[in-house]
């Protein structure tokens, strides 16, 4: 009983302290109150939050992650882990990046809403929103280009360039440009997981 009380008091104190530096609405979800590693990310992100390149971003971000315009990024609290990957680049100058629940993004992934004008590289063309659905996984060194929508349960193979939308989700896409290489039977897989766990 005492351990539970101490744990709750500790979480309250750390939450109150971190609320000084981060927006409280981002200090919630499974990474803060179940897995607890969110608090470690918050501590590690303090130098970047105070004097680094991410000093205006109101949620914990690794110093190795680049965010061009945090105001145009929307994400579920259970996907805050995506801002801890090394070399990730979120370019959202004048269009939105929307990220669902339980998304995973590997290192060196670029999510880009705005391209350079092919006739004048010094200028940018109008941005287009990007949406990544729940339970999606973006593999290492992939690039998601402007206007792309990925449906739920979309896996992007490492090194892929995603130039078009895959709104149906439940698939594995890969290649340059990315194309569907496998459709996922999510319901069947869940039933299989349940059967295996029951046998154990």
Residue 111, beta-bridge partner list: 90, 144
HSE of 22, CA atoms in CB hemisphere, 13 A: 26
Q: Is 26 a catalytic residue?
A: no
Residues in a beta bridge with 156: 138, 173
User: 61 φ, ψ to 5°?
Assistant: -135, 135
Q: Which of 26, 104, 116, 124 is catalytic?
A: 116
Residue 18: strand pairing partners = none
Length of the chain: 200
Residues annotated as catalytic are 116
């Amino acid at each position: 009983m005492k351990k539970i009380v101490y744990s709750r008091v500790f979480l309250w104190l750390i939450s109150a302290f971190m609320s000084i530096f981060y927006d409280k609405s981002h200090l919630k979800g499974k990474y803060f109150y179940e897995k607890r590693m969110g608090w470690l990310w918050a501590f590690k992100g303090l130098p970047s939050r105070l004097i680094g390149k991410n000093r205006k971003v109101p949620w914990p971000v690794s110093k190795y992650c680049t965010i061009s315009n945090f105001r145009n990024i929307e994400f579920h609290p259970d996907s805050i882990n995506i801002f801890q990957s090394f070399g990730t680049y979120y370019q959202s100058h004048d269009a939105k990046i929307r990220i669902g629940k339980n998304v995973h993004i590997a290192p060196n992934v670029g999510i880009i809403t705005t391209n350079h004008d092919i006739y004048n590289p010094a200028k940018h063309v109008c941005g287009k929103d990007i949406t990544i659905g729940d339970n999606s996984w973006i593999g290492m060194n992939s690039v998601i280009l402007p206007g792309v929508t990925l449906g739920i349960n979309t896996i992007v193979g490492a090194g892929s360039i995603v130039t078009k939308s895959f709104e149906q989700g439940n698939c594995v896409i890969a290649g340059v440009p990315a194309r569907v290489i496998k459709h996922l039977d999510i319901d069947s897989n869940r039933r299989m997981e349940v059967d295996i766990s029951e046998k154990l």
